[in-house]
Structure 1
Amino acid sequence: MIVEWKTTRVGDQINLQRGFDITRDGAACGPFPVISSSGTSFYNDKAMVSGPGVVIGRKGTLGTVFYVEGDYWPHDTTLWVTDFCGNNPRFVYYFLKSLSLQDFDVGSANPTLNRNHVHPIEVLWPPREEQDGISYILSTIDGKIESNCLVRRNLESAMEQIFKSMFKGKEEKDEALNWCGRSFAKYTSDQNRASDGWSIVKFGQITDRISMGPFGSRIKAENFVDAGVPVIRGSNLAGMFVDGKFAYLSNEKADELSASRAEAGDIVFTHRGTVGQVSLVPDDGEHKRYVVSQSQMVATVNEEMCSRYYAYLYFSVGRGRWEIESNINTTGVPAISRPSTFLKNVTFPLPNRELMSAFDGIVRPMFNLASQCDKESSILLELRDLLLPKLMSGEIRVKDAERMVGDVI
């Protein structure tokens, strides 16, 4: 055993108690978060507990762990720490995250966590000084990830506003800001465009390629490998850039499916399932090529004619998004009929070269910075997930972890 670390039980270091019942309808608007098993659900004008606090999911979403800085209301679907027994609250948060609490499910139909099954768990526990060091390292990583996310959100918001500002002055302000709505027909008439060099084209006219993902029958279980060419699925299109945990195909299989490839700068769309998802393949991504799945399609924009960033924003926050969502067939699984043909024929307003060049010059560095933030956060997440169990077990000590974090941040 590590010197000064001790073998103990969870219940000897913290005390857990079931949260308090409250409904959204019964809450009064206020500043205090109501923390349920899935996180902050709503707010109330009264808090039941003074912060800082640690809350874990007890029912429904099992084993989730939340750290709360200020006063809060722990929901009935949670367990909350009533007494930290002199331990560092943030360390307790990370410690509980390192436990596989979902394995202590005692529910039948609905997953349930009982504190009487958590308290007796035998663990190795560090002294307070070590706790402080561990929590500082892990919270430093989380703080940088949070900062990156904030920068990225601000950049995304700014780019959306820049995109919308291109159309101000063409109509009344409220209509221009709602440019993606039904006022589009009046706004994009050929007569209105002719005087300022804009043109109305079909999206397929400014793309080099629009390709579908392969039929499901062309990808079999034996084609997947631990490392290779990543497959882009709907779960990888949650944000501005293609990201997340990938499944991988062998290089040979990816070569066979080259018609469904995606590369840096391409735009990937979901046409079946969560229709409306759209993401860019980053320029500085870890992978050089991808294969889109059967529910996705990919477009390569001809950048001599149009900025890929303009096209992306058109389909993520502009009229293009409305075009896609208004053509969803909701019978059965939501989908677009003949998706590649549909996408090629989407009406696309093309700015004059001067405006397009100016727009691209402004937003390209912003997209690049957002991509860098995402890439750094991905590295930090991997580092945190590596360090968390090793710090909690004493396999990696604080000084060694500090050096590892210093190499990244």
Structure 2
Amino acid sequence: MQQKSELPEGWAECQIKDIVVINYGKGLKKSDRVEGQFDVFGSNGIVGKHNQSLTNGPTVIIGRKGSVGEINLSSEPCWPIDTTYYIDNFYGINRIFLYYLLKTLNLANYDTSTAIPGINRNDIYSQLVPLPPLSEQHRIVSAIEALFARLDATNEKLDRVPGILKKFRQSVLAAACDGRLTEDWRKANPDIESAKELVKSIIHEKETKSEKRKVSLNSDLEESVVQNIPESWFESSLDKISIKITDGTHHSPPNGAEGDFKYITAKNIKNDGIDLKNVTYVSSEVHDEIYSRCNPEYGDLLLIKDGATTGIVTLNNLTEPFSMLSSVALLKFPEEISNKYIMYYMRSPDFQSNVLDKMGGAAITRLTLKKISNMIIALPPLPEQQEIVHRVDALFAFADSIEAKVVAAREKTERLRQSILAKAFSGKLVETEAGIARREGREYEMAEVLLERIKEERGKGGKK
């Protein structure tokens, strides 16, 4: 806070103890509450309702334990519980002014506890604060709330952006996976070999390398899942265009914080790759047994097939070998297939809806390898797959840049909020009462007089 000599004309410097009484909240267990009209406040805000109030009018609540220094304001009588302090007698001071003033003190810095965070009431009482004349307090509050309302309106708009961007990304994927996104590209490249020929060549190569029965191009193909796909595209089940579809070990092996190889489960699979937070490890012997069947390599697709996050699909971003649990499926494709295109397709709204159908509804969160193998992909020729990936990447990067701007805008609004408060309590937000009185040729009540009146009223017993 400012030194007394630096205070605006007509202001006074005082301690919190000079202007208000800070009371202890009173315990009120959840089991003892009776649903009613009065808000029950904990240290971080409203925690319930009760049919009685502890305070008799508007109240400022200060977090005492837990969320130390959090400041809340109730315009009505309420019940602050025993993790809080409260103020409900303002001795003529504008209560909203006091609320904003307390928010500038950073009371959390005065946490005196080593276990549960807490603040001593005397640390609050001892805080030096600037006090303007009462009429100036009212104008300061009006100015703060007008400016904060503009910031709140901005934040409301920013709050809508993530939802808009989510719909935008879903729309991009939908357009990418039914041909609309690259319609102009196909017109400019009419002589590209169709995807049907691509699938034929993949099947032929698989058959020449395998002793298994031959598979017809159209056998076991489920009914079309994409209406009116481009003529050069072809719908194929995943098993026809893949090299391998498998999953990790079905027996949870010994694993821990130390070991020779990472052990990846569904909790590690995220949209942006493998998250190594809380990863565990297995021994070389365990890894060799798992890896002989399920050998994820850089760039392979990993699909969560079991659990609450079933359907999340990502590209393997780890270059070193690792072991997996059966909750994650491994999908390998030949060079003629863009793994990233398949990933985008599997993230599209229609495919994700198909995943839900395959699970049998929202209550069943499991996919079998057979169901995954039979899932249908609308496949473009390889050059168009690559073009789709290029365009989706560019559009998603655009969306990411907007998200970054939203984050920056939020940070800016918070900085502006703090700047407004700083100006308010240094006398720079509104014209001072002294300046107005001088211009109008009249007297005014200085803050020193207000302090004397508060002292006198408290001496009489603090009549509200």
The normalised TM-score by structure 1 is: 0.48
The normalised TM-score by structure 2 is: 0.43
Q: Larger Rg: 1 or 2?
A: 2
Larger fraction in strand: 1
